[in-house]
Amino acid sequence: MKTSEDLLIKRLQEKKTSSEAFKELVSLYKERLYWHIRNMVKDHEDTHDVLQNTFIKIFKNIHNFKGESKLFSWMYRIATNEAISFLNKRAKRNQISSEDLQQQLIANLESDVYFEGDEIQLKLQKAIASLPAKQQQVFNMKYFQELKYREISEILETSEGALKASYHHAAKKIEEYLKSN
């Protein structure tokens, strides 16, 4: 039996119904993908740009989607790749390393009108920025978005065991950072 997701994909792939189906898709996933990207790129305007590119790519490539993975994880994967690509380009343009870019993004948060975190939340962002890129992604998805390891595993194409170890290391480093700063 076809699920509602299968039907939505079919409608997205048919020219006649694609526009309405696309609006439904955006409505279903806009907030989840927005916060997923926002946790990675930090700034609202940048997030908006990446979100737009993500949905455009989803729409343009939906005919290549064969249902071998879940639509949800396929879309998250596109969003993750778009955000990484955005950050790499930004670092390259500013002629700085990815690590320095992370520090720069966090420094900008202090004057960002769309950041309402308190001192401890800012400190947490600094701690996250000090982690290797993959650990940052795993921590953000597990801690803030509360995704299941199974879901993160599909998105990042990494085994659940490796993800658990990654999250464990990330949490430990954050704990240490928060205690010593």
Partner 1 sequence: MKKEKASYNPKSGFKTPSGYFEGLENKLLEKMKLSETLGEKKSAGFKAPEGYFDGLEDELLEKVNKDEPKVRKLVTKEVFLYAASIAAMVIAFASTFYLNPETQTSWENVELSVMESYIDNNNIDLSTGEISNYIFQKGYIIDDTDLNKVDSEAMMNYLDENLDEPLYMLDEN
Q: Give min distance, CB of 142 to partner 1, in A.
A: 10
Under rule CB under 8 A, residue 175 binds partner 1 = yes
Q: How far apart are CA 152 and CA 150, in angstroms?
A: 6
Near partner 1 by CB under 8 A: residue from 91, 96, 122, 162: 122
Under rule CB under 8 A, residue 74 binds partner 1 = yes
Q: Give min distance, CB of 166 to partner 1, in A.
A: 13
Instruction: Find all residues with CB under 8 Å of 21, minimum gap 6, and list them.
Output: 8, 11, 12
Near partner 1 by CB under 8 A: residue from 17, 144, 151, 158: 144
Q: How far apart are CA 42 and CA 47, in angstroms?
A: 7
In sign, the C-alpha dihedral spanning 63, 67, 70, 74 is negative
Q: How far apart are CA 42 and CA 56, in angstroms?
A: 21
Helices 160-180 and 119-129: angle between axes, nearest 10 degrees: 130
Q: Give min distance, CB of 68 to partner 1, in A.
A: 6
Residues that bind partner 1 (CB under 8 A): 19, 22-23, 26-27, 30-31, 34-35, 38-39, 42, 44, 48, 52, 55-57, 59-61, 64-66, 68-69, 74, 77-78, 81, 85, 109, 114-118, 120-122, 124-125, 140, 143-144, 146, 157, 168, 171-172, 174-175, 178-179
